[in-house]
Protein backbone atom coordinates (compact mmCIF):
# COMPACT_ATOMS: atom_id res chain seq x y z
CA UNK A 1 0.00 0.00 0.00
CA UNK A 2 1.11 3.58 -0.70
CA UNK A 3 1.73 6.15 2.00
CA UNK A 4 -1.48 7.05 3.86
CA UNK A 5 -2.80 10.52 4.68
CA UNK A 6 -5.55 10.27 7.31
CA UNK A 7 -7.74 13.37 7.72
CA UNK A 8 -10.25 13.68 10.56
CA UNK A 9 -11.85 16.36 12.69
CA UNK A 10 -9.57 15.55 15.62
CA UNK A 11 -6.27 13.67 15.85
CA UNK A 12 -6.33 10.93 18.49
CA UNK A 13 -2.80 9.52 18.31
CA UNK A 14 -1.11 8.19 21.41
CA UNK A 15 -2.13 8.05 25.03
CA UNK A 16 -3.59 5.30 27.18
CA UNK A 17 -7.16 6.40 26.40
CA UNK A 18 -6.79 5.90 22.65
CA UNK A 19 -9.51 3.57 21.39
CA UNK A 20 -9.37 0.80 18.81
CA UNK A 21 -9.96 3.08 15.82
CA UNK A 22 -7.04 5.32 16.75
CA UNK A 23 -4.86 2.28 17.39
CA UNK A 24 -5.68 0.83 13.95
CA UNK A 25 -5.05 4.07 12.10
CA UNK A 26 -1.76 4.54 13.93
CA UNK A 27 -0.75 0.98 13.04
CA UNK A 28 -1.47 1.68 9.36
CA UNK A 29 0.51 4.91 9.48
CA UNK A 30 3.47 3.20 11.15
CA UNK A 31 3.45 0.42 8.56
CA UNK A 32 2.99 2.55 5.46
CA UNK A 33 4.26 5.94 6.53
CA UNK A 34 2.18 9.06 6.20
CA UNK A 35 0.51 11.71 8.32
CA UNK A 36 -2.59 12.06 10.49
CA UNK A 37 -4.02 15.55 9.90
CA UNK A 38 -6.80 17.34 11.79
CA UNK A 39 -7.89 20.00 14.23
CA UNK A 40 -5.85 20.26 17.43
CA UNK A 41 -8.87 21.20 19.51
CA UNK A 42 -7.13 24.51 20.16
CA UNK A 43 -8.13 28.07 19.29
CA UNK A 44 -6.39 30.91 17.53
CA UNK A 45 -7.35 34.57 17.16
CA UNK A 46 -6.70 34.46 13.42
CA UNK A 47 -6.39 31.40 11.21
CA UNK A 48 -3.03 31.40 9.43
CA UNK A 49 -2.73 27.81 8.23
CA UNK A 50 0.12 27.16 10.66
CA UNK A 51 0.64 23.42 11.14
CA UNK A 52 1.80 21.89 14.40
CA UNK A 53 3.87 18.79 13.60
CA UNK A 54 4.46 16.09 16.16
CA UNK A 55 5.84 12.54 16.19
CA UNK A 56 4.46 10.07 18.72
CA UNK A 57 4.89 6.31 18.66
CA UNK A 58 6.55 6.68 15.25
CA UNK A 59 3.41 8.34 13.84
CA UNK A 60 3.64 11.82 12.38
CA UNK A 61 0.68 14.07 13.17
CA UNK A 62 -0.14 17.51 11.81
CA UNK A 63 -2.72 19.71 13.51
CA UNK A 64 -4.17 23.18 13.06
CA UNK A 65 -5.91 25.60 15.40
CA UNK A 66 -9.28 27.15 14.52
CA UNK A 67 -10.84 30.54 15.18
CA UNK A 68 -13.74 30.88 17.61
CA UNK A 69 -16.12 31.57 14.72
CA UNK A 70 -14.92 28.40 12.97
CA UNK A 71 -15.53 26.31 16.07
CA UNK A 72 -18.97 27.78 16.67
CA UNK A 73 -20.23 27.47 13.09
CA UNK A 74 -18.41 24.37 11.82
CA UNK A 75 -18.16 22.19 14.94
CA UNK A 76 -20.79 23.29 17.46
CA UNK A 77 -23.04 24.42 14.62
CA UNK A 78 -23.23 22.43 11.40
CA UNK A 79 -21.51 19.25 12.60
CA UNK A 80 -23.23 18.89 15.98
CA UNK A 81 -26.47 20.89 15.68
CA UNK A 82 -27.32 20.13 12.06
CA UNK A 83 -25.72 16.92 10.73
CA UNK A 84 -25.48 14.87 13.94
CA UNK A 85 -29.18 15.06 14.90
CA UNK A 86 -30.32 14.71 11.27
CA UNK A 87 -28.18 11.65 10.59
CA UNK A 88 -29.49 10.11 13.84
CA UNK A 89 -33.11 10.66 12.73
CA UNK A 90 -33.73 13.59 15.11
CA UNK A 91 -34.93 16.23 12.69
CA UNK A 92 -36.83 17.77 15.60
CA UNK A 93 -33.44 18.79 17.04
CA UNK A 94 -31.66 19.71 13.80
CA UNK A 95 -30.92 23.41 13.31
CA UNK A 96 -30.60 24.72 9.77
CA UNK A 97 -28.67 27.99 9.74
CA UNK A 98 -26.88 29.48 6.72
CA UNK A 99 -24.07 30.64 8.95
CA UNK A 100 -23.54 27.04 10.11
CA UNK A 101 -23.42 25.75 6.52
CA UNK A 102 -21.07 28.55 5.52
CA UNK A 103 -18.73 27.91 8.45
CA UNK A 104 -18.69 24.20 7.65
CA UNK A 105 -17.70 24.88 4.05
CA UNK A 106 -15.09 27.43 5.10
CA UNK A 107 -13.38 25.08 7.55
CA UNK A 108 -13.35 22.21 5.05
CA UNK A 109 -11.73 24.54 2.53
CA UNK A 110 -9.17 25.55 5.14
CA UNK A 111 -8.44 21.90 5.84
CA UNK A 112 -7.98 21.26 2.11
CA UNK A 113 -5.75 24.27 1.57
CA UNK A 114 -3.58 23.46 4.59
CA UNK A 115 -3.15 19.73 4.01
CA UNK A 116 -2.51 20.15 0.27
CA UNK A 117 1.29 20.63 0.52
CA UNK A 118 1.57 17.49 2.66
CA UNK A 119 0.08 15.18 0.00
CA UNK A 120 2.63 13.52 -2.27
CA UNK A 121 1.96 12.07 -5.71
CA UNK A 122 1.51 8.40 -4.72
CA UNK A 123 -0.27 8.95 -1.41
CA UNK A 124 -3.71 7.54 -0.64
CA UNK A 125 -5.95 9.94 1.27
CA UNK A 126 -8.51 8.65 3.79
CA UNK A 127 -11.07 11.13 5.13
CA UNK A 128 -13.02 10.24 8.27
CA UNK A 129 -16.64 11.01 9.14
CA UNK A 130 -19.40 13.58 8.78
CA UNK A 131 -17.28 16.59 9.70
CA UNK A 132 -15.53 16.28 6.32
CA UNK A 133 -18.23 15.38 3.77
CA UNK A 134 -17.13 17.99 1.17
CA UNK A 135 -13.37 17.70 1.75
CA UNK A 136 -12.81 15.38 -1.20
CA UNK A 137 -14.37 17.92 -3.57
CA UNK A 138 -12.29 20.70 -2.03
CA UNK A 139 -9.12 18.67 -2.63
CA UNK A 140 -10.11 17.87 -6.22
CA UNK A 141 -10.76 21.56 -6.85
CA UNK A 142 -7.15 22.18 -5.83
CA UNK A 143 -5.82 19.63 -8.29
CA UNK A 144 -5.48 16.50 -6.14
CA UNK A 145 -5.74 13.38 -8.33
CA UNK A 146 -4.75 10.85 -5.67
CA UNK A 147 -7.01 8.06 -4.50
CA UNK A 148 -9.34 9.55 -1.88
CA UNK A 149 -11.55 7.42 0.34
CA UNK A 150 -14.22 8.46 2.81
CA UNK A 151 -15.68 6.49 5.72
CA UNK A 152 -18.90 7.48 7.47
CA UNK A 153 -18.91 6.45 11.14
CA UNK A 154 -22.56 7.39 11.76
CA UNK A 155 -25.81 6.25 10.11
CA UNK A 156 -26.87 7.48 6.68
CA UNK A 157 -30.47 8.70 7.06
CA UNK A 158 -33.41 7.72 4.84
CA UNK A 159 -33.96 9.83 1.76
CA UNK A 160 -36.98 11.80 3.03
CA UNK A 161 -35.18 12.74 6.23
CA UNK A 162 -32.05 13.85 4.40
CA UNK A 163 -34.10 16.05 2.12
CA UNK A 164 -34.89 18.28 5.11
CA UNK A 165 -31.27 19.48 4.82
CA UNK A 166 -31.30 22.54 2.53
CA UNK A 167 -27.93 21.54 1.01
CA UNK A 168 -28.71 17.81 0.71
CA UNK A 169 -28.46 17.42 -3.08
CA UNK A 170 -25.32 19.52 -3.39
CA UNK A 171 -23.68 17.72 -0.45
CA UNK A 172 -24.30 14.28 -1.91
CA UNK A 173 -23.07 15.41 -5.35
CA UNK A 174 -19.82 16.49 -3.72
CA UNK A 175 -19.32 12.99 -2.31
CA UNK A 176 -18.72 11.80 -5.85
CA UNK A 177 -15.32 13.48 -5.62
CA UNK A 178 -14.23 10.45 -3.58
CA UNK A 179 -13.13 7.18 -5.15
CA UNK A 180 -14.51 4.99 -2.37
CA UNK A 181 -17.13 5.56 0.33
CA UNK A 182 -17.54 3.20 3.29
CA UNK A 183 -20.46 2.52 5.63
CA UNK A 184 -20.81 0.30 8.69
CA UNK A 185 -23.86 -1.57 7.43
CA UNK A 186 -25.61 -2.52 4.21
CA UNK A 187 -28.66 -0.58 5.46
CA UNK A 188 -26.78 2.73 5.50
CA UNK A 189 -25.24 1.96 2.10
CA UNK A 190 -28.67 1.16 0.64
CA UNK A 191 -30.07 4.43 2.02
CA UNK A 192 -27.29 6.34 0.26
CA UNK A 193 -28.03 4.53 -3.01
CA UNK A 194 -31.73 5.32 -2.68
CA UNK A 195 -30.95 9.04 -2.41
CA UNK A 196 -28.60 8.99 -5.39
CA UNK A 197 -31.11 7.14 -7.54
CA UNK A 198 -34.31 8.94 -6.55
CA UNK A 199 -33.14 12.50 -5.86
CA UNK A 200 -30.14 12.91 -8.18
CA UNK A 201 -31.10 10.58 -11.03
CA UNK A 202 -27.90 8.59 -10.63
CA UNK A 203 -27.51 4.90 -11.36
CA UNK A 204 -26.55 2.04 -9.06
CA UNK A 205 -24.81 -1.11 -10.30
CA UNK A 206 -26.73 -4.40 -10.11
CA UNK A 207 -24.55 -5.60 -7.24
CA UNK A 208 -24.89 -2.29 -5.38
CA UNK A 209 -21.14 -1.69 -5.18
CA UNK A 210 -20.94 1.44 -7.37
CA UNK A 211 -22.97 4.60 -7.83
CA UNK A 212 -22.62 6.72 -10.97
CA UNK A 213 -23.57 10.37 -11.33
CA UNK A 214 -22.71 12.04 -14.62
CA UNK A 215 -19.15 11.14 -15.55
CA UNK A 216 -18.13 10.14 -12.03
CA UNK A 217 -18.39 6.68 -10.45
CA UNK A 218 -18.14 6.18 -6.70
CA UNK A 219 -17.30 2.75 -5.32
CA UNK A 220 -19.23 1.69 -2.21
CA UNK A 221 -18.36 -0.72 0.58
CA UNK A 222 -20.09 -1.90 3.75
CA UNK A 223 -17.46 -2.89 6.31
CA UNK A 224 -18.28 -2.61 10.02
CA UNK A 225 -15.57 -1.19 12.22
CA UNK A 226 -14.35 -3.45 15.00
CA UNK A 227 -12.21 -3.29 18.11
CA UNK A 228 -8.83 -4.77 18.93
CA UNK A 229 -10.48 -7.77 20.57
CA UNK A 230 -7.28 -9.40 21.79
CA UNK A 231 -5.98 -6.16 23.25
CA UNK A 232 -9.26 -5.50 25.06
CA UNK A 233 -9.41 -9.03 26.44
CA UNK A 234 -5.86 -8.51 27.70
CA UNK A 235 -6.95 -5.24 29.32
CA UNK A 236 -9.70 -7.14 31.15
CA UNK A 237 -7.02 -9.38 32.66
CA UNK A 238 -4.70 -6.51 33.63
CA UNK A 239 -3.93 -5.53 37.19
CA UNK A 240 -5.97 -2.33 37.02
CA UNK A 241 -8.95 -4.19 35.55
CA UNK A 242 -8.76 -6.90 38.22
CA UNK A 243 -8.66 -4.28 40.96
CA UNK A 244 -11.62 -2.45 39.42
CA UNK A 245 -13.49 -5.73 39.01
CA UNK A 246 -13.11 -6.53 42.69
CA UNK A 247 -14.10 -3.02 43.83
CA UNK A 248 -17.23 -3.05 41.67
CA UNK A 249 -18.18 -6.59 42.70
CA UNK A 250 -17.73 -5.79 46.36
CA UNK A 251 -19.77 -2.60 46.07
CA UNK A 252 -22.68 -4.55 44.56
CA UNK A 253 -22.81 -6.74 47.70
CA UNK A 254 -23.84 -9.88 45.84
CA UNK A 255 -26.31 -8.14 43.54
CA UNK A 256 -26.24 -8.46 39.76
CA UNK A 257 -24.82 -5.37 38.08
CA UNK A 258 -26.20 -3.87 34.87
CA UNK A 259 -23.86 -1.39 33.21
CA UNK A 260 -24.24 1.25 30.54
CA UNK A 261 -21.27 3.26 29.27
CA UNK A 262 -22.27 6.03 26.90
CA UNK A 263 -21.28 9.53 25.97
CA UNK A 264 -23.98 11.88 27.31
CA UNK A 265 -25.96 12.22 24.08
CA UNK A 266 -29.65 12.08 23.17
CA UNK A 267 -28.93 9.45 20.49
CA UNK A 268 -27.81 6.94 23.14
CA UNK A 269 -31.31 6.33 24.51
CA UNK A 270 -30.38 6.99 28.14
CA UNK A 271 -33.72 8.51 29.09
CA UNK A 272 -35.54 5.56 27.55
CA UNK A 273 -33.14 3.17 29.33
CA UNK A 274 -33.94 4.71 32.71
CA UNK A 275 -37.67 4.49 31.98
CA UNK A 276 -37.28 0.84 30.97
CA UNK A 277 -35.46 0.14 34.24
CA UNK A 278 -38.19 1.93 36.15
CA UNK A 279 -40.73 -0.31 34.42
CA UNK A 280 -38.66 -3.35 35.45
CA UNK A 281 -38.62 -2.24 39.09
CA UNK A 282 -42.39 -1.73 39.01
CA UNK A 283 -43.24 -5.02 37.29
CA UNK A 284 -40.79 -7.23 39.18
CA UNK A 285 -40.69 -6.17 42.83
CA UNK A 286 -39.19 -9.53 43.77
CA UNK A 287 -36.08 -8.65 41.71
CA UNK A 288 -35.66 -5.07 42.90
CA UNK A 289 -32.91 -5.57 45.41
CA UNK A 290 -31.19 -8.23 43.31
CA UNK A 291 -29.87 -5.78 40.73
CA UNK A 292 -28.14 -2.38 40.44
CA UNK A 293 -27.86 -0.18 37.35
CA UNK A 294 -24.51 1.59 36.94
CA UNK A 295 -24.73 4.25 34.24
CA UNK A 296 -21.46 5.93 33.26
CA UNK A 297 -22.17 8.96 31.06
CA UNK A 298 -19.31 11.42 30.53
CA UNK A 299 -20.59 14.84 29.40
CA UNK A 300 -19.96 15.95 25.82
CA UNK A 301 -20.63 19.00 23.65
CA UNK A 302 -21.58 21.11 26.63
CA UNK A 303 -21.88 24.22 24.47
CA UNK A 304 -24.88 22.73 22.63
CA UNK A 305 -28.21 23.41 24.34
CA UNK A 306 -29.76 20.01 23.55
CA UNK A 307 -26.90 18.32 25.43
CA UNK A 308 -27.48 20.52 28.46
CA UNK A 309 -31.16 19.49 28.41
CA UNK A 310 -30.44 15.75 28.31
CA UNK A 311 -28.13 16.03 31.31
CA UNK A 312 -30.80 17.85 33.31
CA UNK A 313 -33.44 15.29 32.29
CA UNK A 314 -31.31 12.31 33.29
CA UNK A 315 -30.37 13.81 36.64
CA UNK A 316 -34.06 14.34 37.34
CA UNK A 317 -35.00 10.81 36.29
CA UNK A 318 -32.24 9.18 38.36
CA UNK A 319 -33.28 11.20 41.39
CA UNK A 320 -36.95 10.32 40.96
CA UNK A 321 -36.32 6.58 40.52
CA UNK A 322 -33.90 6.42 43.44
CA UNK A 323 -36.28 8.41 45.61
CA UNK A 324 -39.18 6.08 44.81
CA UNK A 325 -37.42 2.71 45.10
CA UNK A 326 -34.22 3.03 47.18
CA UNK A 327 -33.95 1.43 50.60
CA UNK A 328 -31.63 1.87 53.53
CA UNK A 329 -29.18 -0.62 52.04
CA UNK A 330 -29.80 -0.30 48.28
CA UNK A 331 -29.93 2.39 45.60
CA UNK A 332 -31.26 1.22 42.21
CA UNK A 333 -29.25 3.63 40.00
CA UNK A 334 -25.66 4.78 40.28
CA UNK A 335 -25.36 7.64 37.80
CA UNK A 336 -21.79 8.81 37.14
CA UNK A 337 -20.87 11.79 34.95
CA UNK A 338 -17.17 11.16 34.43
CA UNK A 339 -14.93 9.22 32.08
CA UNK A 340 -12.72 6.26 33.04
CA UNK A 341 -9.61 4.77 31.45
CA UNK A 342 -10.15 1.79 29.17
CA UNK A 343 -8.50 -0.71 31.53
CA UNK A 344 -10.84 0.36 34.32
CA UNK A 345 -13.84 0.05 32.01
CA UNK A 346 -12.72 -3.44 31.04
CA UNK A 347 -12.90 -4.38 34.73
CA UNK A 348 -16.35 -2.81 35.04
CA UNK A 349 -17.61 -4.74 32.01
CA UNK A 350 -16.32 -8.05 33.37
CA UNK A 351 -17.96 -7.38 36.73
CA UNK A 352 -21.35 -6.72 35.09
CA UNK A 353 -23.91 -9.48 34.59
CA UNK A 354 -25.68 -7.37 31.96
CA UNK A 355 -24.33 -4.89 29.41
CA UNK A 356 -26.86 -2.29 28.25
CA UNK A 357 -26.21 -0.84 24.79
CA UNK A 358 -29.55 0.66 23.79
CA UNK A 359 -29.08 3.69 21.53
CA UNK A 360 -32.07 5.06 19.65
CA UNK A 361 -29.81 5.12 16.58
CA UNK A 362 -26.09 4.47 16.22
CA UNK A 363 -23.68 3.91 13.36
CA UNK A 364 -21.95 1.01 15.13
CA UNK A 365 -21.38 1.33 18.91
CA UNK A 366 -18.13 -0.29 19.91
CA UNK A 367 -19.11 -0.53 23.59
CA UNK A 368 -21.15 -3.60 22.62
CA UNK A 369 -18.04 -5.29 21.25
CA UNK A 370 -15.87 -4.17 24.16
CA UNK A 371 -18.38 -5.62 26.62
CA UNK A 372 -18.25 -9.00 24.88
CA UNK A 373 -14.43 -8.96 24.62
CA UNK A 374 -14.07 -8.25 28.35
CA UNK A 375 -16.19 -11.18 29.58
CA UNK A 376 -14.96 -14.20 31.51
CA UNK A 377 -15.48 -17.17 29.14
CA UNK A 378 -16.41 -19.35 32.12
CA UNK A 379 -19.12 -16.98 33.36
CA UNK A 380 -19.98 -14.41 30.68
CA UNK A 381 -22.53 -11.66 31.00
CA UNK A 382 -25.49 -10.95 28.73
CA UNK A 383 -25.60 -8.15 26.18
CA UNK A 384 -28.87 -6.25 25.70
CA UNK A 385 -28.53 -4.44 22.39
CA UNK A 386 -30.67 -1.96 20.48
CA UNK A 387 -31.95 -3.13 17.10
CA UNK A 388 -31.03 0.34 15.84
CA UNK A 389 -27.31 0.12 16.58
CA UNK A 390 -25.10 -0.86 13.67
CA UNK A 391 -23.64 -3.60 15.87
CA UNK A 392 -27.01 -5.41 15.84
CA UNK A 393 -26.40 -6.54 12.25
CA UNK A 394 -23.46 -8.60 13.52
CA UNK A 395 -24.36 -9.45 17.12
CA UNK A 396 -27.61 -11.33 16.65
CA UNK A 397 -27.02 -13.49 19.74
CA UNK A 398 -27.50 -10.48 21.98
CA UNK A 399 -30.97 -9.82 23.37
CA UNK A 400 -32.16 -7.38 20.70
CA UNK A 401 -34.64 -4.74 21.83
CA UNK A 402 -36.59 -1.73 20.65
CA UNK A 403 -35.18 0.94 22.99
CA UNK A 404 -38.31 3.08 22.57
CA UNK A 405 -40.36 0.40 24.37
CA UNK A 406 -40.08 0.40 28.16
CA UNK A 407 -41.86 -2.97 28.18
CA UNK A 408 -39.27 -4.58 25.87
CA UNK A 409 -36.42 -3.20 27.93
CA UNK A 410 -38.02 -4.48 31.15
CA UNK A 411 -38.62 -7.94 29.64
CA UNK A 412 -35.04 -8.08 28.35
CA UNK A 413 -33.63 -7.21 31.77
CA UNK A 414 -35.56 -10.05 33.37
CA UNK A 415 -34.58 -12.49 30.61
CA UNK A 416 -30.91 -11.58 31.04
CA UNK A 417 -31.05 -11.94 34.84
CA UNK A 418 -32.53 -15.44 34.78
CA UNK A 419 -30.64 -16.75 31.72
CA UNK A 420 -28.88 -20.05 32.52
CA UNK A 421 -25.10 -20.23 32.37
CA UNK A 422 -25.01 -22.58 29.37
CA UNK A 423 -27.21 -20.23 27.35
CA UNK A 424 -25.05 -17.26 28.32
CA UNK A 425 -21.92 -19.13 27.24
CA UNK A 426 -23.47 -20.20 23.91
CA UNK A 427 -24.49 -16.67 23.00
CA UNK A 428 -21.18 -15.17 24.13
CA UNK A 429 -19.08 -17.70 22.18
CA UNK A 430 -20.82 -16.91 18.89
CA UNK A 431 -20.49 -13.15 19.38
CA UNK A 432 -16.89 -13.35 20.57
CA UNK A 433 -15.86 -15.33 17.49
CA UNK A 434 -17.22 -12.59 15.23
CA UNK A 435 -15.72 -9.79 17.35
CA UNK A 436 -12.33 -11.49 16.98
CA UNK A 437 -12.72 -12.26 13.28
CA UNK A 438 -13.96 -8.84 12.17
CA UNK A 439 -11.75 -6.76 14.41
CA UNK A 440 -10.44 -3.27 13.78
CA UNK A 441 -7.51 -4.49 11.68
CA UNK A 442 -9.91 -6.49 9.51
CA UNK A 443 -11.87 -3.27 8.96
CA UNK A 444 -8.71 -1.33 8.18
CA UNK A 445 -7.53 -3.91 5.66
CA UNK A 446 -10.95 -4.23 4.02
CA UNK A 447 -11.17 -0.50 3.37
CA UNK A 448 -7.56 0.21 2.41
CA UNK A 449 -7.46 -2.80 0.07
CA UNK A 450 -10.59 -1.55 -1.66
CA UNK A 451 -9.13 1.96 -1.86
CA UNK A 452 -5.88 0.64 -3.30
CA UNK A 453 -7.88 -1.11 -6.02
CA UNK A 454 -9.55 2.12 -7.15
CA UNK A 455 -8.38 3.59 -10.43
CA UNK A 456 -7.27 7.18 -10.64
CA UNK A 457 -8.01 7.95 -14.28
CA UNK A 458 -11.55 9.23 -13.78
CA UNK A 459 -12.07 12.93 -14.57
CA UNK A 460 -12.31 15.29 -11.63
CA UNK A 461 -15.92 16.02 -10.68
CA UNK A 462 -17.71 19.28 -11.03
CA UNK A 463 -17.53 21.05 -7.67
CA UNK A 464 -20.78 22.51 -6.36
CA UNK A 465 -20.52 25.40 -3.92
CA UNK A 466 -22.78 25.44 -0.86
CA UNK A 467 -24.30 28.64 0.58
CA UNK A 468 -21.89 30.88 2.48
CA UNK A 469 -24.04 34.02 2.81
CA UNK A 470 -23.11 35.95 5.90
CA UNK A 471 -20.78 33.25 7.09
CA UNK A 472 -17.24 34.19 6.12
CA UNK A 473 -15.28 36.22 8.56
CA UNK A 474 -13.00 38.80 7.01
CA UNK A 475 -9.43 38.36 8.18
Write out the catalytic residue numbers. Answer: 153, 362
Phi, psi of 292 (to 5 degrees): -135, 135
Phi, psi of 78 (to 5 degrees): -65, -45
The whole-angstrom separation of Cα 5 and Cα 10 is 14
Cα angle 162-163-164, degrees, rounded to a multiple of 5: 90
List of long-range contacts for 282-286, beta carbons under 8 Å, 24+ apart: 283/410, 284/410, 284/414
Phi, psi of 361 (to 5 degrees): -165, 135
Amino acid sequence: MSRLIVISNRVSAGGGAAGGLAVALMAALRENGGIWFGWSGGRTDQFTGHINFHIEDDVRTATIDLEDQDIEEYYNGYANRTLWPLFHYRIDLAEYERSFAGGYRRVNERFAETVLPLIEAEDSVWVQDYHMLPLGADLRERGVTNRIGFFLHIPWPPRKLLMTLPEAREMVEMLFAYDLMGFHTQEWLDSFCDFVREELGGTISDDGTTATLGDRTLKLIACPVGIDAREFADLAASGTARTTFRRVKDSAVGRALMVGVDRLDYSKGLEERFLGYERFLTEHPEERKEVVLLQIAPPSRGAVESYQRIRTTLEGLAGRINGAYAGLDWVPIRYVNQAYARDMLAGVYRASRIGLVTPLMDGMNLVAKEYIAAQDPADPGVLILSRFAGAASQMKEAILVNPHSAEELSDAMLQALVMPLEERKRRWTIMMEDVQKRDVMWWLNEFTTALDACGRDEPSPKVVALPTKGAVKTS
